[in-house]
Amino acid sequence: MANTQFTRAIFPGTFDPITNGHLDLIERGARIFDELVVAVLRNPDKNPLFSLKERLEMLREVTAQHPNVSVEAFDGLLVDFAKQTGSTAILRGIRAISDYEYEMQMAMMNRRLAPDVETVFLLPALNYTFVSSRLLKEIYLLGGKIEDLVPAAVFDRLQAKVPVP
Ligand code: PNS
């Protein structure tokens, strides 16, 4: 019997900034779910390089070609925002086994808080398994090459914000 249930999923993160690894997961998620809400945590704890407004703008720009993807900001508990948006799934990526422990803890906590919201893990393309926003910023600020690991719009913003020789 065909499953006709509509599924909206939420893809949360700090996205400071969005990388090609995030984008790869967004594209995979957009193929699996009817709608995908990219949920950007304000996250002052991480002292982001890009403001919330900038992160939202970059995400909206690079996901504009996907009609079933939207981008929203959130504060507070992820499961509360998932419910607010009518999402029944949380999408997260696992790059390597080292991600697993933290992701499992979060998934189990979120399940405890909201048993009806399911966490779904996807693997990014192999060539993005070592990409993280934190490392990319560090490499960029030290003059290393990262152009092929972030969307062009993000690289332009990085250059505008912190020009490096
Ligand atoms: O990109 P990140 O920083 O790995 O994303 C972490 C995120 C945003 C998924 C996580 O910090 C989160 O969900 N924060 C919202 C607060 C919350 O619900 N905390 C309890 C998680 S079990």
pLDDT tens, position by position, 131-142: 999 999 999 999
- The CATH number covering residue 54 comes to 3.40.50.620
Average pLDDT over residues 22-51: 94
What whole-number distance in Å separates Cα of residue 87 and Cα of residue 162? Answer: 36
Question: Would 57 be classed as within a structural domain?
Answer: yes
Examine the pLDDT at 1 and tell me if it is beyond 70: no
Full domain range(s) for residue 111 = 8-161
Sequence letter at residue 95: R
Sign of the dihedral defined by the CA atoms of residues 100, 10, 77, 110, in that order = negative
Question: Would 18 be classed as within a structural domain?
Answer: yes
The pLDDT of residue 46 is 79
Two tokens, residue 38: 């990219």
Examine the pLDDT at 165 and tell me if it is beyond 80: no
The pLDDT of residue 77 is 97
Ligand 1 pocket test target in 40, 78, 91, 92 with most atoms within 8 Å of CB = 78
pTM over 0.85, yes/no: yes
Question: Would 104 be classed as within a structural domain?
Answer: yes
Question: Would 66 be classed as within a structural domain?
Answer: yes
Examine the pLDDT at 94 and tell me if it is beyond 90: yes
Q: Give the ranges where the chain is alpha helix by DSSP (H).
A: 20-32, 52-62, 78-84, 97-113, 133-141, 152-161
Sequence letter at residue 136: L
Q: What percent of the chain has pLDDT over 90?
A: 92
* Catalytic residue flag (residue 66): no
Question: Would 1 be classed as within a structural domain?
Answer: no
Examine the pLDDT at 164 and tell me if it is beyond 90: no
Question: Would 144 be classed as within a structural domain?
Answer: yes
What whole-number distance in Å separates Cα of residue 159 and Cα of residue 44? Answer: 22
Question: Would 2 be classed as within a structural domain?
Answer: no
Examine the pLDDT at 44 and tell me if it is beyond 80: no
Which amino acids bring their CB within 6 angstroms of ligand 1? Answer: 12-14, 41, 77-78, 106, 109-110
Residue having the nearest C-alpha atom to atom 17 of ligand 1: 77
pLDDT tier at 84, thresholds 50, 70, 90 = very high
Number of domains in the chain: 1
Higher pLDDT, 165 or 41: 41
Average pLDDT over residues 119-129: 96
pLDDT tier at 3, thresholds 50, 70, 90 = low
pLDDT tier at 86, thresholds 50, 70, 90 = very high
Question: Would 47 be classed as within a structural domain?
Answer: yes
Given a contact cutoff of 8 angstroms between Cβ atoms, the answer to whether 64 and 38 are in contact is no
